[in-house]
Amino acid sequence: MSLVRNFIEDWSRYRRSIDEGGFHEYEHMWGMVIDLDKCTGCNACSVACYAENNLAVVGEDKFENGQGMHWMRIERYWDEPNIGNERVRDTQEHGASFMPMMCQQCNSATCEPVCPVSAAYHTPDGLNAQIYNRCVGSRYCANNCPYRLRYFNFFSYYEDSWPSPLDMQLNPDITVRDKGVMEKCTFCVQRIRSTKNAAKMEDRQVVDGEVQTACQQTCPTSAIVFGDLLDHESDVHKLWHKHQTRLGTTKQKKDNPELRGYRLYEQLNTEPSVTYLERVRDV
């Protein structure tokens, strides 16, 4: 009886802890590297994301209320947390610190277990997926996201954000989310999907560089590298390897502590799939 077989097989199927190397039957493990030294904070990625993913422009009032929908946002900080011990000067000597923030696609995501209807779940591609039409809008996931990268449709934006003919721009590969649905960066899953589809039609594997996220594609300084972490030939894997960042650990054991790779709030054990490379300043 396959029912019982499922039962028995699944009992501990995915239960492999980090110490045991984690679960490794992923088809892909999409990951990213963002070089904060190259990132100029120009916002091109953010607008590209609006264009690719049918993000609603919420307007002045709603933005003021904090209801903006920027899946990719560039944060700008003024302080210099760990560069030398200079006194506080009256000018901003080292410029600003820009931080492109989108869903970190955590492998041990805090949003997934709390979703009451499993609308947030982990895919075999290592993505932290959000199924819009399953979402009931409890917003628990957003509350539990330490990065605050989930955005909620507080209104039905369809009419206000895309007055005709702006609606002709809408990407048919991704739904326009209605009110009451949680949404977030998907690593441009529609692009991943269509590339995988093309590869499968040709009975081949997806090659590195074939899938480009909208933000990566437009980034004027190519600060964003995206690819499959399981593909050892991919740029993203090489960069993770070079900077000695690893999945499956809360504290990176680096031979060389000066290497720039780090993941945001690693200590929370969320296992983000995005490695940031530290910003550099010549002082």
State which of positions 164-183 bind another protein (CB under 8 A).
164-182
Q: Which of 156, 205, 249, 252 binds another protein (CB under 8 A)?
A: 156
Phi first, then psi: give them for residue 276, nearest 5 degrees: -100, 140
Closest by Cα among 274, 283, 282 to 35: 274
Q: How far is the CB of 130 from another protein (least distance, A)?
A: 9
The answer to whether residue 99 forms part of the interface with another protein (CB under 8 A) is yes
The reply to whether 26 sits near another protein by the rule CB under 8 A is: yes
Query: How far is C-alpha 178 from the chain's CA centre?
Result: 22
Q: Are 22 and 37 in contact (CB under 8 A)?
A: no
The one-letter code for the residue type at 205 is Q
Number of residues that bind another protein (CB under 8 A): 170
CB of 196 to another protein, least distance (A): 9
Q: Does position 220 bind another protein by CB under 8 A?
A: yes
Applying the rule CB under 8 A, the residues between 116 and 155 that interact with another protein are 116-118, 121-127, 129, 131-140, 142-144, 146-148, 151-155
**φ and ψ at residue 72, rounded to 5 degrees:** -110, 115
Q: What angle is formed at CA 155 by the lines to CA 43 and CA 45, rounded to 5 degrees?
A: 15
Residue among 158 and 207 whose Cβ is closer to another protein:
158
Q: Per CB under 8 A, does 93 bind another protein? A: yes
The distance in angstroms from the start CA to the end CA of the chain is 69
Q: Which of residues 34-63 bind another protein (CB under 8 A)?
A: 36-38, 40-44, 46-48, 50-52, 54, 57-60, 62-63
> What is the three-class DSSP state of 82?
coil
Cite the DSSP H helix spans in 54-170: 60-64, 111-114, 140-143, 158-161
Candidate residues 226, 228, 260, 274; the one interacting with another protein per rule CB under 8 A: 260
Question: By CB under 8 A, is residue 199 in contact with another protein?
Answer: no
For residue 30, report the phi and psi dihedrals to the nearest 5 degrees.
Answer: -70, 135
Closer Cβ to another protein, 42 or 231, answer by number: 42
Q: Is 13 in the site for another protein (CB under 8 A)?
A: yes
